[in-house]
Amino acid sequence: MSFRVTVSETAVRQLRKLPKGERVRIARALRVLEEDPFRARPKADIRVLEGTEPRKYRLRVGDYRAVYAVLGSEVKIVEVFTRGRGYR
């Protein structure tokens, strides 16, 4: 089964603020979620965020984190931020 990755307006705004090189790197990492958004593996450091409903996950890309939810066959990127900012 393959998943479709979509990006929220909030995440799009956050990505626009990043340097082009980082944007490209994050976009490449998000494509990995099309194969399997649940399982951590090389090139996909994925963790479940405890206490989130619906269940959310985070993907680590260097010093950046992408938080996403899986809704059926869609992976919705909710936000992208630097490691130091923390989770809301």
Tens of pLDDT, residues 20-63: 999 999 999 999 999 999 999 998 999 999 998 889 999 999 99
Q: Is the pLDDT of residue 10 over 90?
A: yes
Q: What is the pLDDT of residue 24?
A: 95
Tell me the pairing of strands 4-7 and 74-82.
parallel
From CA 18, how far away is CA 37, in angstroms rounded? 23
Q: Is the whole model's pTM more than 0.95, yes or no?
A: no
Q: Specify the higher pLDDT residue, 86 or 83.
A: 83
**Domains of the chain, CATH where assigned:** 4-85 (3.30.2310.20)
Q: What is the pLDDT of residue 87?
A: 57
Structure tokens belonging to residue 11: 């995440």
